[in-house]
Structure 1
Amino acid sequence: MSSINYDLNKIKAFIFDVDGVLSPDSIPMSPEGEPMRMVNIKDGYALNLACKTGYGLAIITGGDTEAVRLRFSRLGIEHIYMKSSIKITDFNDYLSKTGYKPEEIIYVGDDLPDYQVMQAVGLPVAPADAAPEIRGIAKYISHKKGGEGVARDVIEQVMKTQGTWMNDKAFGW
């Protein structure tokens, strides 16, 4: 049974921010000044399974590193928006390219740049350590912090509700 107060049978797509959501909000820097993100393996498995099962997935991030693009494209995510300065613009582009309706989408964000998109989607989600303004508009606040399994939390709840979690695609990469 899900702890999310939303009709999860409506959900067809997931959109995630990266920093503070799919990676912790504190990240080391390389000697060259590049941010080096850590990612959660269970998040990665859930993202890949959702892609293989036919859910829409997208990344909308202000960051711009090849490592982020490679990580998420290798998991099967086709729609990756990098250097997103106004995220609602990229969200609208995603809608126009995919045909999804806002009420069919979960967006997981943790800070002010995510605010407009979270207001636009059917199910705005925040990690446990999100900014107060974001927690204030989230319809679900995960018990997981950013980078510690928040994607797995929401994807698993949706897929279990829809009966797609333990499908024939679940047993392998």
Structure 2
Amino acid sequence: MEDKSYKEYLEHITTFILDIDGVLTNGNVIVMTNGDLVRTMNIKDGYALKTALNHGYHICVISGGSNEGVRFRLNGLGVKDVFLGVQDKISCLDDYMKTNKIKPENVLYMGDDIPDFEVMQKVGLPCCPQDAVPEIKAISKYVSHKKGGKGAVRDVIQQVMKVQGKWALDVNAKYD
């Protein structure tokens, strides 16, 4: 039997769970002389995150990294569920879904590398950026045409919201 098209899953998504490095960033870090690691994030991804939150979607970020600058940026967009330094992504996912009464079939998870492999198998719609590793692409129901940190998050959020009739042009939206 043939698997469903990823588009058939979009109408049931209520929750976006994202990795950071390689998904919300391009996976590169700039190493400062003091040892700080600097990342860049895409403004268009930020707009989509804020728009999804404004429409009542759950947004959760789970990362093995522990850069507090990332938390600051996401909190500034309204993302409050930011879990950094996570060694066991499955337990974090399970706790988050239980606490928020979310079913796995309502979750879109976007990851890009091996630490996301097992957790992606526990959700309804595993997705990845175009530049994810082959193992992650193989288990993803959707591979974005955008790279990590280059609009992949915007791509999936916008698709879900369009299918659900919630994506609309808002020329007054603020997203910096």
Give me the TM-score of the superposition, normalised by structure 1: 0.94
Identity score, percent: 47
Does residue 37 (structure 1) correspond to residue 8 (structure 2)? The answer is no
Aligned to 1:57: 59
The secondary structure found in structure 1 opposite 2:8 is: coil
| Conserved? CA contact 1:103–1:121, under 8 Å | yes
Instruction: Compute the RMSD of aligned alpha carbons.
Output: 1.4
| Conserved? CA contact 2:104–2:123, under 8 Å | yes
The secondary structure found in structure 2 opposite 1:80 is: strand
Aligned to 2:76: 74
Q: How many residues align?
A: 170
Deviations 1:34-55 (A, max 9, x none): 2101000000000001011100
Aligned to 1:172: 173
Quote the offset at 1:7 in angstroms: 2.6
The one-letter amino acid paired with 2:102 is: Y
Question: Which structure 2 segments of 5+ residues have no match?
Answer: none
The one-letter amino acid paired with 1:171 is: N
Q: Structure 1 segments of 4 or more deviating over 6 A?
A: none
| Conserved? CA contact 2:9–2:125, under 8 Å | no
Aligned to 1:84: 86
| Conserved? CA contact 1:142–1:150, under 8 Å | yes
Question: Which structure 1 segments of 5+ residues have no match?
Answer: none
Give me the TM-score of the superposition, normalised by structure 2: 0.92
Deviations 1:70-94 (A, max 9, x none): 1111111121110011111110111
